[in-house]
Amino acid sequence: MSRIVYVNGQYVPEEEARVSVFDRGFLMADGVYEVTSVLDGKLVDFPGHITRLRRSLSELDMPSPATDDDLLAIHRELVARNGIEHGMVYLQVTRGAPPDRDFAYPDAATPPTLVLFTQSKPGLIDNPLARSGMAVVSIPDQRWARRDIKTVQLLYPSMGKMIAKAQGADDAWMVEDGVVTEGTSNNAYIVKGNTIVTRQLGPEILSGITRAAVLACAREAQMRVEERPFTIEEAREADEAFITSASTFVMPVVRLDGQEIGEGRPGPVAVRLREIYLSEARRAAI
Ligand code: PDD
């Protein structure tokens, strides 16, 4: 049975899904997206993802494609139709397909394009990287200056993953003005003593929905959290490091630029936070 995807009001087999060659998502990366994880057939942190989607749309003056209730219903319908137990729902909104290519935004006659699809990941929780820890390499952050908007301009993050792969690593941490911004598709953290350090929110990074939930779990568990920039040298000397995202939850980082962090294996803070976050996320999923 082929995967059912959602395109502009219709549920269709993936082979039949179509968007126009004039779509501004395709021509200009004029689109925003969200990735919501699915655990036990339910949506994790859904209200946070919808709130961030609304903000991305409004920062770009992009029309809304549907109400929050409709978006929830479409997510659930796709999860049900594709029998997803563990996995993800990907949502993308673009500024639609005007009659011709033009740098200026189209007028209201051009409706936004809305596409959603699911990805089944049976091993999403039991990821072997959670046991071994990840290796990252540092690269300069060469993305645009509005990283707080979750746009589909993902070429540089893609290049970053390829640079990491070429060096035998799992991901790259991006560095700007001597400090770490974030991972290519995740937020970055170090642990020194009993303090968790992660960059403060701002235009330089994406406001991770998992980040917000994990920091709340950490504070609830009486862990110390500092939201401030940290340097790559600080990261090298940290006791632990980890990342967070909707697709990795909390994932330990054990090597940076080929050098071990701490003891070179997942540390107690990352391991504990992963457990706490996952149990809370599964409890609160809708
Ligand atoms: N990426 N920073 C960047 C640059 C990201 O692309 C992501 C998410 C995050 C973490 O955000 P969240 O916790 O809301 O997933 C941080 C998604 C998973 C992706 O592009 O697939």
Span 129-284: which CATH code?
3.20.10.10
Query: Residue 188 C-alpha to ligand 1 middle, in angstroms?
Result: 11
Q: What pLDDT is stored for residue 163 in this prediction?
A: 98
For the chain, what are the domain ranges? 4-120, 129-284
DSSP secondary structure string, 135-163? EEEEEE--S-S-TTS-BS--HHHHHHHHH
Spatial distance between the Cα atoms of 241 and 132, rounded to a whole number of angstroms: 13
- Residues with CB under 6 Å of ligand 1 are 35, 182, 185-187, 206, 208-211, 244-247
**Protein residue closest via CA to atom 19 of ligand 1:** 185
Q: Token pair 């993936």 is at which residue?
A: 14
Contacts within 8 Å (CB) and 24+ apart, 236-240: 236/261, 237/192, 238/190, 238/191, 238/192, 238/262, 239/191, 239/192, 239/193, 239/267, 240/190, 240/191, 240/266, 240/267, 240/268, 240/269, 240/270
The string of pLDDT tens digits covering residues 1-12 is 799 999 999 999
**Protein residue closest via CA to atom 6 of ligand 1:** 185
Return the structure tokens found at 205: 């990074």
Q: What pLDDT is stored for residue 75 in this prediction?
A: 98
Q: Once rounded to an integer, what is the mean pLDDT over residues 62-83?
A: 98
Contact 130, 252 (CB under 8 A): yes
Query: Residue 211 C-alpha to ligand 1 middle, in angstroms?
Result: 9
Span 4-120: which CATH code?
3.30.470.10
Q: What pLDDT is stored for residue 72 in this prediction?
A: 98
Contacts of 75 (CB under 8 A, 6+ apart): 36, 43, 46, 89, 91, 116
What is the percent of the chain with per-residue pLDDT over 70, rounded to a whole number? Answer: 100
Query: Residue 112 C-alpha to ligand 1 middle, in angstroms?
Result: 23
Q: Is the pLDDT of residue 106 over 90?
A: yes
Residues annotated as part of the active site: 150
Return the structure tokens found at 76: 């659930």
**Protein residue closest via CA to atom 8 of ligand 1:** 185
Q: What pLDDT is stored for residue 16 in this prediction?
A: 97
Q: Once rounded to an integer, what is the mean pLDDT over residues 209-213?
A: 98
